[in-house]
Amino acid sequence: MRHQLPAVALAAVVLVPAWIGGRRGYGLGTTAVIAVILALGYQVTYGFSGQLSVAHAPLQGLGAYAVANLTTSAHWSFWATLPVAVLVAAAVGVVVGLPGLRVRGDVLALVTLGAGEILQNLYLNTERFTRGSDGIAGIPPVSVLGRAVDGRGLYVVGLGLGLSTLVAVRALRDSPLGRSWMALRDDEVAAAACGIRVGRLRLLAFAVGAGIAGVAGALYAVQDQFVSSVSFGLGQTVIVVLVALIAGEGRIGRTVAAAIGITVLVDRLTPYADVSTGVTGALILAVVALRLGLFRVGFDRLRAGVRNVVAAR
């Protein structure tokens, strides 16, 4: 099952847009692929190396702004900007991850929250690069073999990037590097005693996670053909964290499935904007309760209670 799940999930991504059909279907498919890439990157930082970062969406923004800037101002092609998007996001990811050399767990979450807010602020205030609150519009569509692609073409491009990311992240998980990450996640002291350079690998996990977020950002920029800071706020990060919580740390197949599921849910909730945040919150509570086994405890107590009542009669 462990090896089949990613395949099943991917088949769903391929088939569902075709089933829904038309521009809306492929648009939703691309959105799902972006969510999958973003969540897979987060699994490297959080799932493999155990660092609770809440700056993932702002890091995605770096990739989006890199593509938006270079394609509109410098007229680069999407394919030329893609590596830049990855490198910029990875480099800033290292900076965001630096506090991770000193702090852990909830403190690291707070520090990265601050870093993410700073990035958001830069997006709003560095007019020259981001055009502030106006955002950058008019991003040209992706060209393949000299021809601009439509919604369906972009979906295929996204699927290619998503598959590449999936293969890359799985290779990481099964490599000595992935094993070292998971070892330091479980016990840093023992990992260091086994020769693992903990600080270096923690930073590398931030860089890789952010670099992959950069890919998601790049794809986002060409899908919307418009980039502004509102797309990379805390709400986005919360959704990524939620996907990782649902899937479990380092679980790749489930991450793909959860990212697609959440994307479809968010899409269905779009007409009900006033309740969608509440639904996200309720989902987080439900997932945490499930993870802590609270439902089970509650169920067992209920069953014991019923049994007592029956016995008393």
Partner 1 sequence: MNGLQLVGVSKDFAGVHAVRDVSFCVAPGEMVGLVGLNGSGKTTVVNLSGGASVPSTGRVLVDGRDLTGRAPPNFARAGVVRTFQGLRLFERLSVLDNVLIGAQRSTRPSLAGAWIPHAGRRRQAAALRDRAIAALEDVGMASFGATPVQALSHGQRRRVELARAFAAEPAYLVLDEPGAGVDPEQKEVLAGLLAAHRDAGVGMLLVEHDAGLVERLTDRVLGMANGAVVAEGSFAEVTTRLEQRP
* Beta strand residue intervals within the chain, DSSP E: 136-137, 143-144, 147-148, 226-227
Using rule CB under 8 A, residue 171 touches partner 1: yes
Smallest gap from residue 52 Cβ to partner 1 (A)? 16
For the chain, state the CA radius of gyration: 21
CA distance 12 to 28: 12
Dihedral through CA 169, CA 223, CA 8, CA 42, nearest 10? 30
Contacts of 64 (CB under 8 A, 6+ apart): 85, 217, 218, 220, 221, 227, 231, 232
Q: How many helices (H) and strands (E) are present in the chain, helices listed first?
A: 14, 4
Tokens 């630096």, residue located: 98
- Shortest distance (Å) from residue 17 CB to partner 1: 29
Which residues ranging from 230 to 249 are in contact with partner 1 (CB under 8 A)?
249
Which member of 16, 52, 182, 269 binds partner 1 (CB under 8 A)? 182
Site string for partner 1, 200-219 (x = CB under 8 A): -x--x---x-----------
Closer to partner 1 at the Cβ: 95 or 190? Answer: 190
For the bound state, the minimum distance from the C-beta of residue 142 to partner 1, rounded and expressed in Å, comes to 24
Residue 101 contacts partner 1 per CB under 8 A: no
Question: Could you say whether residue 192 binds partner 1 (CB under 8 A)?
Answer: yes
CB nearer to partner 1: pick between 177 and 234: 177
**Contact (Cβ atoms closer than 8 angstroms) between residue 250 and residue 44:** no
**In whole angstroms, what is the distance from residue 54 CA to residue 69 CA?**
25
Q: Is 196 in the site for partner 1 (CB under 8 A)?
A: yes
Based on the shown chain and the rule CB under 8 A, indicate whether residue 292 belongs to the binding site for partner 1: no
The DSSP-derived string for 49-100 is T------HHHHHHHHHHHHHHHHHTS---HHHHHHHHHHHHHHHHHHHHGGG
Which position among 14, 110, 179, 267 is part of the footprint of partner 1 (CB under 8 A)?
179
Kindly indicate which of the ranges 13-21, 56-64, 184-192, 275-283 contains the residues binding partner 1, using the contact rule CB under 8 A. 184-192
Our finding on whether 94 is near partner 1 (CB under 8 A) is no
Q: How many Cβ atoms sit within 10 Å of the Cβ of residue 302?
A: 10
Q: Does position 191 bind partner 1 by CB under 8 A? A: yes
| Of the residues 156, 177, 264, 289, which one makes contact with partner 1 according to CB under 8 A | 177
Closest CA to 58 of 132, 114, 128: 114
Total interface residues for partner 1 by CB under 8 A: 29
Which residue ranges make up the site for partner 1 (CB under 8 A)? 168, 171-172, 174-180, 182-183, 185-187, 189-198, 201, 204, 208, 249
